[in-house]
Chain A
Amino acid sequence: MKQDIYVLIEYLRGQVADISCVMLAAARELAQGTNGLVVGVLLGHNAQGLASDPLSGSGQWLAADRMLYVDHPALAEFTADAYQKALAGLIKDNMPCVVLFGDTSVGAEVANGLSARLGLPLVSHCYGVRVDGSVLKFVSKICGGKIMAEGALPETTTLVTMIPGGFKPEHGRGAQPPEVTTVASPALEGLRISLKQYIEPTAGDVDISREPVLIAVGRGVQRQNNLALAEDLAKALGGVVCGSRPVVDQGWLPTTRLVGKSGKSVKPKIYLALGISGAPEHVEALTGSEVIIAINTDPSAPIFNIARYGAAVDLLEVVPVLTEKVKQARSA
């Protein structure tokens, strides 16, 4: 028990989130040091199918040694309330070494609540974990991605919320289906949060998560008028314009074009980041990109830490020139 690594499997409307696979990859890393099992925990209602075949259709399985499935009507949709109550007992009874959650609008709420309720230490914004001799170490990314903080995981059961980027989701998937055990749920009463309905993002627009060429604009674009520069380049290159939070919050791009923690994760061939600083909430959605090219006047911007190529120039100056060259290349 004390050596096991638990992972709360995150899923939304029947789809297992990539972060779950990232966490499993991390869990495998840790389990090597503790000689424990990697246990995936899935909470839901009438979701046995999902628990036994979460990546259905892919021919792959979650890389856990065991899966625990907890069923209760109140767990049909995610609410922090219900999830916390369901997990509290499980953790107290088993006292695993580490419990991994996604640092998301699902996992973070549960982890924080449990830390306070059970008095367990909590590490957030965790980018990577590793085994250093007999010590388990964490590395978290804070301050807009500019600072890394490293330390040892406490000896007691520790809750960790993870961000993507440190581990590849592929390493959290395996060829063997884990053994699934259904666990009785505790009584879940006095729940104060309920889901009323989901609101779909506005349809009828491009799905940027399927586009191979993305031209992304951030705060550096300065004015709404300048978006036209990005549009021109996108047209010339055969790509699509998307943006980071500041641009979408202003209403310059619809929310369907938001790339980031609350937006879409993308996996293009080329991600051209224009005037984007590289804050973690944005960067975590880019980790599937093949090549990231960054343009930013600030050479110390964190985006240059994840880009393959970069240029410390003003996007407003270089983009028109680039568009011209692209047009010339196309017509040649």
Chain B
Amino acid sequence: MPIRETFWNIPQWAEIGQYVLGLLTVLVFAYGVFRRVQRWRIGQPEPRTDRLGARLLSVMVHALGQVRTAQDIYAGVMHLTIFWGMAALFIGTVLATVDWDVTHLLFGLQFLSGGVYVLYELILDILGALLLVGLGMAAYRRYIVRPPRLQNAPVQRLAWDDAYAIGMLALVAITGYLVEGLRLAVVKPDWAVWSPVGNTLAAAFTAMGDPTNRALHLTVWITHGLVAFTFIASIPFTKLFHIVAAPLNIFFHSLQPAGALAPAHHSSEPGVKELRDFTWKQILDFEACVHCGRCQDNCPAYASGLSLSPRNIMIKLDAYLWERGNGRALHGDVITADELWACTTCRACVQVCPVFTDQLAAIVDMRRYLLREGRVDEKLQRALTDLRRYGNSFGQSERARAKWTQPLQPKIKDARKEAVEYLWFVGDYASYSPSLIEITRKTAQVFQKAGLDFGILYESESNAGNDVGRVGEEGLFRRLVKKNATEFGKCTFKTIVTTDPHSYNALKHEYLSEINGRHPVLHYSELLDQLIASGQLKFSQKLGYRVTYHDPCYLGRYNGVYDAPRRLIAATGSELVEMPRHRDRAFCCGAGGGRIWMEESGVKERPSEARIREAVRLDGVKVFVVACPKDVTMYRDAVKTTGYEDRLVVRDLIELVYEALS
């Protein structure tokens, strides 16, 4: 009858030793965890216990299911086998402990017997083998293939940490198999065949014969015990801690919509000056980071050659957390202003992180401090001063905001004076940028052709504030919101429509009390998509262009609007060919986060240029379609500087719609 012969060949002293070491291990582990939690608690409070059900679900999907990790198939297979392999072995050990120290000790029966035991052995053997396969894959990728995102961590010591994790796990598994193999070689039970790996090893050891096998077995058993206990005890002190920290981080991640900017914790002194100004959750973010570097791979700033790498920010902040009295300052020594200003707030990093760290929130919080100290470049300073004085970043009088409407007939309705169905929030760039005004006029004409009852706020509209907040100017951001909200309050309208994704994002998430619930906020692509679907808008022409579409960060990744623009493109009769990086993997144009207001220095290849190069690789695609005024500006520029003017033309989606209507 198959049964687990626990402690075969193990003398009494070793058995006792195991329990003593086990206890010691638990104590050391607990101490390690306690030490970590203590560090987290130096941060500011932040409530994250809402919607427990949703939180548990995300742990299921992302900690156990590891859906984000699996986006990279190789990594997904590798990590899931390691995780489930280890989990299986762990559960197996727990079951064995319960079997021997609980049920056998107290009730005199062992449930790991018979068929159950055989199945148990089989599953563990196979999963253990998979564990080794996974570890092999990991070692191969890290040390042979050497992808850039796993190299050059700013803290050298971490390379040893990574090696330790792989090495230790492998050692645990290998010594475990050796013990099993040696035992099977001597005991030779009938059911040995159900432990395929152990059995194979046993064949090799049989040749050695007793009592060598026994002596070896005891030695390897002790080794395995020591290795396993060291492994467990070391978890809170090494990279392995992500076993604890990652699920915790996933559980506590923010359930707010992506587009809502987390307000500053102290409104009078916003921003993070020292570590303790971060919240405990932000500190947990640094701890949970496993240095996988996917964020770095998807970061447009990093790709353009700037010093910012979201991965390095997390690594450096975590290392700083554990530094003892070095006298280094957070700002300047650990994180430089250059890194912080390089961010375009495209959110690709947050989106792709398997353990749900929020690199972006840390960056914005640190920017808030830089601004408090006045450490901004002159160009940004001028933009903010202009925004404060004139409500736009162009330094032009607010009275000139609606100048673009002058040649249009009939005159666009003034939403301040009469009720309208759609309040069109135009935005800075569409109003003031000389090269974009034609597109704004076309938009007006499209709305008119569609028979929409729409109006604008004329001079009373100010910048919606989206990028002002992301640059770190909390006070000005809230002021702009208040100003616009007051104006909205005076008007009568049903829906807000905007042509600018940045404004769209702010209006959707920061103007909640004034708008949301009562007034939906739509991007023009959503509105026109609705009108096409309902038949209110019909295109008279089929354009037949072969186009590609760039998902704007604040429309796509932030707010999930991917399909409406695509349906609109299809409705115009154009053929869409996707770029490799599309939808939530779209590559930012580089203008966001206030970058368009900053000096551009140290850039080796502009993100917009890299994107154009990506587009020209698509066969037969002549038109690069965008849906954001800043994208139009950035990409038209990039087409010129990359010399592809004959190959590619940049058009806003509204221009295609305009053409299809005429």
Contact = CB atoms under 8 A, between A and B. Distances in A.
A223 B434 CA distance: 18
Contacts of B600: 223, 225
B479 interface: no
B378 A225 contact: no
Contacts of B378: 250
Interface residues of B, number: 6
A184 to B, nearest CB: 53
B449 interface: no
Contacts of B599: 223-224
Interface string A214-234: 000000001111000000000
Nearest to A250: B378
A220 to B, nearest CB: 12
A225 B606 CA distance: 13
A225 B434 contact: no
B601 A224 contact: yes
Interface string B155-183: 00000000000000000000000000000
A209 to B, nearest CB: 28
B601 A314 contact: no
Contacts of B403: none
Q: Is the interface of B mostly helix, strand, loop or mixed?
A: loop
B342 to A, nearest CB: 16
B613 interface: no
A250 B601 CA distance: 14
Interface string B408-449: 000000000000000000000000001000000000000000
Contacts of A223: 379, 599-600
A297 interface: yes
A66 B601 CA distance: 59
A314 B599 CA distance: 19
A297 B434 contact: yes
Nearest to A249: B378
A223 B378 CA distance: 10
A222 B378 CA distance: 11
Interface size class, chain A: under 10
Interface in B348-389: 378-379
A232 to B, nearest CB: 14
Given A224-B601, A225-B600, A314 B379 contact: no
Nearest to B603: A225
Nearest to B434: A297
Interface in A239-271: 250
Nearest to A222: B379
Contacts of A225: 600-601
B252 to A, nearest CB: 42
Contacts of A224: 599, 601
Nearest to B379: A223
A225 B598 CA distance: 12
Interface string B573-613: 00000000000000000000000000111000000000000
B399 to A, nearest CB: 15
A299 B581 CA distance: 43
A225 B379 CA distance: 13
Nearest to B435: A314
A225 B600 CA distance: 8
A330 to B, nearest CB: 22
Contacts of B379: 222-223
A223 B600 CA distance: 8
A204 B82 CA distance: 67
Contacts of B434: 297, 314
A250 B378 CA distance: 8
A223 B379 CA distance: 8
A225 B599 CA distance: 9
Interface in A186-224: 222-224
Contacts of A314: 434
Interface in A286-332: 297, 314
A47 to B, nearest CB: 44
Contacts of A222: 379
A250 B382 CA distance: 12
A224 B600 CA distance: 8
Nearest to B378: A250
A217 to B, nearest CB: 15
A297 B599 CA distance: 21
B189 to A, nearest CB: 76
Interface in A119-161: none
Interface string A44-72: 00000000000000000000000000000
B307 to A, nearest CB: 18
A222 B601 CA distance: 13
A226 B599 CA distance: 11
A66 B61 CA distance: 98
B305 to A, nearest CB: 14
A224 B602 CA distance: 12
Nearest to B377: A250
A154 B599 CA distance: 51
B101 to A, nearest CB: 71
Interface in B510-554: none
A222 B600 CA distance: 11
A10 to B, nearest CB: 34
A325 B506 CA distance: 45
Nearest to A251: B378
Nearest to A312: B434
A297 B434 CA distance: 9
Contacts of A250: 378
Nearest to A313: B434
Contacts of B601: 224-225
A250 B381 CA distance: 13
A253 B332 CA distance: 28
A223 B599 CA distance: 6
B396 to A, nearest CB: 10
Nearest to B395: A219
A314 B434 CA distance: 9
A265 B601 CA distance: 32
Nearest to B637: A316
Interface string B551-581: 0000000000000000000000000000000
B601 to A, nearest CB: 7
B639 to A, nearest CB: 13
B394 to A, nearest CB: 11
A314 B637 CA distance: 13
B155 to A, nearest CB: 33
A45 B599 CA distance: 50
A222 to B, nearest CB: 8
A140 B301 CA distance: 51
A170 to B, nearest CB: 40
A132 to B, nearest CB: 37
B223 to A, nearest CB: 62
Smallest CB-CB A-B distances: 6 pairs: A225-B600, A223-B600, A223-B599, A250-B378, A297-B434, A224-B599
Given A224-B601, A225-B601, A297-B434, 8 more contacts: A222-B379, A223-B379, A223-B599, A223-B600, A224-B599, A225-B600, A250-B378, A314-B434
11 contacts: A222-B379, A223-B379, A223-B599, A223-B600, A224-B599, A224-B601, A225-B600, A225-B601, A250-B378, A297-B434, A314-B434
Interface of B: 378-379, 434, 599-601
